[in-house]
Amino acid sequence: MCGIVGYLGYRDAYPVIIKGLKRLEYRGYDSAGIALIQDKVEVHKSIGRVQDLEQSISDKDKSGNIGIGHTRWATHGSPTNDNAHPHVSNSGLITLVHNGIIENYASIKTHLEVYGYKFYSDTDTEVLVNLIEYVYKTAKVSLEEAVRIALKKIVGAYGIVVISNEEPDRMIVARNGSPLVVGLGDKEFFVASDATPIVEYTDNIVYLNDRQMAIIGDEEFTLKTIENEVVLPEIKKIDLDIEKIEKGGYDHFMLKEIFEQVSSIHDTLRGRVAIDGKEITLGGISSVIPQFVKAKRILIIGCGTSWHAGLVGEYMFEEFARIPVEVEYASEFRYRNPVINDDDIVLAISQSGETADTLAAIKMAKEKGATVLGICNVVGSSIPRETDSGVYTHAGPEIGVASTKAFTAQVTVLAMMSLLVGFKKGTLSSELYQELIVDLQSLPEKVKAILDKEEQIKELAKEYKDVSNAIYLGRGYQYPVALEGALKLKEISYIHAEGYPAAEMKHGPIALIDENMPVFFIATQDVYYEKVVSNIREVAARKGHVIALVTEGDNLVSEIAERVIEIPSIHESLAPLLTVIPWQLISYHIAVMRGCNVDMPRNLAKSVTVE
């Protein structure tokens, strides 16, 4: 999960690359580097953020119309200057940036050392750049051919951009498993890990597929497979506008994205819930509805927040479509040789569409004959291109590392899917189908009603910003929201937090309750309400601090709980889309008050494209 930017054209490459790398820092920010072609390739690197790189070379010559840049999230080797990209081959002939992991780098390194190559970093990337040089020199082939031959010798994932002193007007791009897009301007070309560094210059982009190479130079762009077959590029128009990417007046991307949930849920529903509110249509999966209807099992796979969304989906599909559902961590699923039947539906959930574990799980499920669908947010990313079909969440770019609007968009898609399949199957009555569609359409305004309580929620956050631990409790549909609330708090404020089904407290965790423990309950009106209230009493009796989400008009819980936040009434299956929001806001404000880097929390990256 590193960020790559390349430029070749008539502009100064430096400002294009630096600005682009800043847009990609959500992919990793341990170290950064840039290489510019001047008389020869000049490389500059720095540990830390892109701004640290900028400062370190403020007095250096930064001319050149061709260059490549990289912002890193360490996988092989710790964040040091030597390990920072770009990497240069021993003779200085070849320079490249790389995102991914080369599995067989050690054996290649040993081979190259026999031929006198020296290595100064702990990275797999340095092995690749020297392998390309070795092929270039011994086979006496073009840079393109040297890259092609070298890539055929490696095993693993890569997104690379390669330049050379001997072909200074050329740039070779290649991808297998790590995303790369090429922006096609007017006599200028852009390469990046996603479209955000490109969008202000051109809206014509080409997504590279696995085992594809792009050769850029002489004002030409040629797309080929790694087997040297020319491919007709599919030029897509990106509709990302730059302000969507900027913070839009908010202090952090995360807060902007929490507040965007009014529009992102609306955009996710748009065109899928008929204007007359009579039915749901999901074009992306229309061809597989018959398989869905007769499926004997649904396997939902994902990681982190996407896995939590899958848990909500489990309750939805089992309630409305009466199809057994298993929700699996992708990282476990891909290695445990699971039983997958060819009439299973596998549903992969991923915001980035690039999560390595989820992608690998999908490939395995496909090999075992299952129908694999995706729920993704990034158009054209790897997972949607790997699945048989799927539904995009239309949440717009989610830059904050902590996932917020992607979660509610994923749950919104799961709701539409489960209602549609249940209705087609006849397990969901027409009356309840209509009632739920009306509730779906009421979501944006109800989300806004909760967001309007931000000041109250911020005041509440102040009271708990210095705690060391926290527990989140919910039952039924709200149990996944308890897990999600705990994940939000721990990943951005670094406070230890755990989520449980509320009834689980008596099986151990209640031993943790004392006057130092805040317990965040969801006690909205549903079939579990009375049980949750008694769980609240158990915690309050042991001096735990109870903060509870309740349905508007609840007069009981406020007598027991320390703090209460009211939530608009909605069908219990859709309540997670509302109850998650106060937990997002509380985590955000506590993290800000604790001085944490909310958008780029320590040790984390937005897209985990390595194992």
**So which residues are the catalytic ones?**
2, 606
43 vs 391, beta carbon nearer ligand AGP? 391
Which of the stretches 223-231, 335-343, 396-404, 454-462 binds ligand AGP when contact is defined by CB under 6 A?
396-404
> Taking CB under 6 A as the rule, does residue 375 contact ligand AGP?
no
By beta-carbon proximity to ligand AGP, the closer residue of 65 and 351 is: 351
355 binding ligand AGP? (CB under 6 A): yes
Residues paired with 170 in a beta bridge: 217
Q: State the minimum distance, in angstroms, from the CB of residue 275 to ligand AGP.
A: 31
For ligand AGP, how many residues bind (rule: CB under 6 A)? 15
Q: What distance in Å separates the CA atoms of residue 477 and residue 575, rounded to the nearest whole number?
A: 8
288 DSSP 8-state letter: G
Shortest reach from residue 491's CB to ligand AGP, in Å = 6
7 close to 188: Cβ distance less than 8 angstroms: yes
d(CA 16, CA 5): 8
Give 114's contacts (C-beta < 8 A, 6+ positions apart). none
Smaller CB separation from ligand AGP, 195 or 436: 195
Q: Is residue 403 close enough to count as binding ligand AGP by CB under 6 A?
A: yes
d(C-alpha 189, C-alpha 8), whole Å: 5
Q: Is residue 561 within the footprint of ligand AGP (CB under 6 A)? A: no
Judged by CB, which is closer to ligand AGP: 358, or 524?
A: 358
Is the CA virtual torsion 285, 289, 291, 295 positive or negative? positive
- Binding status of residue 212 toward ligand AGP by CB under 6 A: no
Q: Which residues contact 486 (CB under 8 A, 6 or more apart)?
A: 470, 471, 472, 497, 498, 499
Dist. CA 563–CA 569, nearest whole Å: 19
86: preceding bond cis by omega (within 30 degrees): yes
Q: Which stretch binds ligand AGP (CB under 6 A): 226-234, 275-283, 351-359, 555-563?
A: 351-359
Nearest residue to ligand AGP, by Cβ distance, number only: 304
Closest contact distance (angstroms) between CB of 351 and ligand AGP is 4
**67 or 474: whose CB is closer to ligand AGP?**
474
Amino acid identity at 164 = S
Q: How many residues does this entry show for the chain?
A: 611
The interface mask with ligand AGP, positions 588-607, x = CB under 6 A, is -------------------x
CA dist 160 and 154 (Å) reads 13
Contact positions with ligand AGP (CB under 6 A) in 5-24: none
Helices 576-593 and 479-493: crossing angle in degrees, nearest 10, is: 20
Cβ atoms of 351 and 378 closer than 8 Å: yes
H, E, C per residue of 193-214: CCCCCCCCCCCEEEECCCCEEE
Query: Least CB distance from residue 314 to ligand AGP, whole Å?
Result: 17
Sketch the per residue contact string, 295 through 334, with ligand AGP: x for CB under 6 A, - otherwise.
--------xxxx----------------------------
- C-beta of 125 vs 350, nearer to ligand AGP: 350
Please state the closest distance from residue 355 (CB atom) to ligand AGP, in A: 3
Provide the minimum distance between the beta carbon of 20 and ligand AGP in the complex, in angstroms, as a whole number. 21
Q: What is the DSSP letter of 473?
A: E
Smallest gap from residue 508 Cβ to ligand AGP (A): 25
What angle do the packed helices 576-593 and 454-464 form, to 10 degrees?
Answer: 50
Q: How far is the CB of 501 from ligand AGP (least distance, A)?
A: 20
Kindly state whether residue 358 participates in binding ligand AGP, applying the rule CB under 6 A: yes
**Cα gap 89→133, rounded to integer Å:** 6
* Distance in angstroms (rounded) separating the CA atoms of residues 368 and 347: 14
CB 523 → ligand AGP: shortest distance, Å? 24
The residue (of 213 and 303) whose beta carbon lies closer to ligand AGP is: 303
Instruction: Select from 199, 608, 609, 610 the one that contacts ligand AGP (CB under 6 A).
Output: 608
DSSP state of 230: B
Residue 255 engages ligand AGP in binding (rule: CB under 6 A): no
CA 240 centroid distance within chain: 17
The nearer residue to ligand AGP, 129 or 402, going by C-beta atoms, is 402
Nearest distance from C-beta of residue 14 to ligand AGP, angstroms: 31
Classify 393 as helix, strand or coil: coil
Beta carbon nearer to ligand AGP, 83 or 350: 350
- Nearest CA to 594 out of 515, 447, 491 is that of 491
> Using the rule CB under 6 A, is 491 a contact of ligand AGP?
yes
The answer to whether 402 contacts ligand AGP (rule: CB under 6 A) is: yes
* Contact with ligand AGP (CB under 6 A) among 46, 130, 212, 350: 350
Q: Contacting ligand AGP (CB under 6 A), which of 71, 212, 268, 352?
A: 352
DSSP-assigned beta bridge partners for residue 350 = 376
Q: Position 441: which residue type?
A: Q
The span of 254-262, 350-358, 444-452, 570-578 binding ligand AGP (CB under 6 A) equals 350-358
Q: Segment near ligand AGP (CB under 6 A), from 90-98, 170-178, 348-356, 445-453?
A: 348-356
Distance CA 80, CA 85 (A): 10
Confirm if 306 and 332 have CB atoms less than 8 A apart.
no
Binding site for ligand AGP (CB under 6 A): 303-306, 350-352, 355, 358, 401-403, 491, 607-608
